[in-house]
Amino acid sequence: MLRLLQIEFQKLWLNRTSRILIYISFVFPLSILILSAIKINFFGLFTIDLSETQIFEFPYIWHITTFFIAFFKLFFAIVVVSMIGNEYSNRTLKQNLIDGLSKKEVILSKFYFILAYTALVTVLVFVITLILGISHLPANDFGLNTIFDGSEFIIGYFVKLLAFFSLCLLIGVLIKRSAFALGFLFILYIVEMILYALTENVWFDKETAREVFQFFPYTSMWNLIEQPVYRMANVNNPGRVLETDYALHWYELVISFTWIATYIYLSFKLLKKRDL
C-alpha cells in the first residue's frame, strides 16, 4: 500500500497544476476561521456578527462546517480526473504496466491516494471545527459530552468526500480526457436533479422521491450531511419550526460505501478490458 501511495504521490507532486490544486483544497477549509471573525456593517444602520447566530457553537458547528466545506471538494475533483487523464496523455500508464504494475495496482494506487487525502482533509476539518467550537463555548459548559455532541457529521464528511472522489476516478477511467470527464460529472448531476424534481412534482410525490433517490449517486452523498439552514432557523426562531431530518443514519453510510466499492470495482473492470 505504501509503495503504491508513494508512486501516485510522486506523479502528482511533479505536476505543477495538481500540486497547486492540492494546496488550494487544503487552504480553503481554513476560510471558516476567517468567517467566524467577520462582522458586516450595513452603512452604520446595523451590524451582522455571525458569531452571535450560534452557528459556531456546539453541536451546530459540526453540522455547519462539514456541510459548507464539502463544497470545496470540487478543487480536488479536478486532481482526481487529471490523475487518469494525464496517465493516458503522457503514456505513463502503459509505462507503469511495462515496469511491473498490474492494472489492479494502478487503480489501487489512485484509490489509496484518494483515501489518504480524504483522511487528511477530514482531520483538518475536525481540528478547525474543534477550535472554533471551543472558542465559542461558554465557560460553564466545558465538557466532552457538549464538545463531541454532533461530531458524527465528521464521519459523514469523510464518507461523502470518499464517495465523490471515487466517482471522479470512475468517470476519469471511463472518459480519459479531464475536461470531458468533469463535464460528464456535471451533466450526471443535472440529470439526477431533473429526474428527482420530476419524480417529486410530476410523477409521484416528495416522499416517493426521497425513498427512491436515496440510492442514487449524488443524492446518497447529499443525504450524508443534510443542509443545516432549517436547523439553524429553528434555533434562532423557536416559534417557527421547520421540519427536517438532519441526523446521520447508518443505512445512508451503507449506501455510500456500496457506491464506493462499486466505483472502484467498475474502474478496475474498465481498465482491465481496455487495450492500452
Number of C-beta neighbours around residue 109 at 10 A: 22
Integer Cα distance of 50 and 120 in angstroms = 27
For the cut 90, the answer to whether the pLDDT of residue 223 exceeds it is yes
Which residue blocks in the chain are alpha helix, DSSP H?
2-14, 16-27, 31-35, 60-69, 73-89, 92-98, 103-135, 144-147, 152-175, 178-198, 206-213, 217-224, 229-236, 250-273
| pLDDT band of 140, cuts 50, 70, 90 | low
pLDDT digits (tens, 9 = 90+) for 75-128: 788 888 887 777 777 777 777 777 777 888 888 988 998 999 999 999 999 998
Q: Which three cell numbers stand for residue 16?
A: 505543477
| pLDDT band of 142, cuts 50, 70, 90 | low
Phi and psi dihedrals of 174, rounded to 5?
A: -70, -40
Q: How many domains does the chain have?
A: 1
List the domain range (segments joined by +) for residue 61: 2-273
Residue 78, pLDDT score: 83
pLDDT digits (tens, 9 = 90+) for 11-46: 777 777 778 878 887 787 777 766 665 655 555 554
Query: What is the pLDDT averaged over residues 253-259?
Result: 97
Write down the pTM of the prediction: 0.89
**Hey, what amino acid is at 60?**
Y
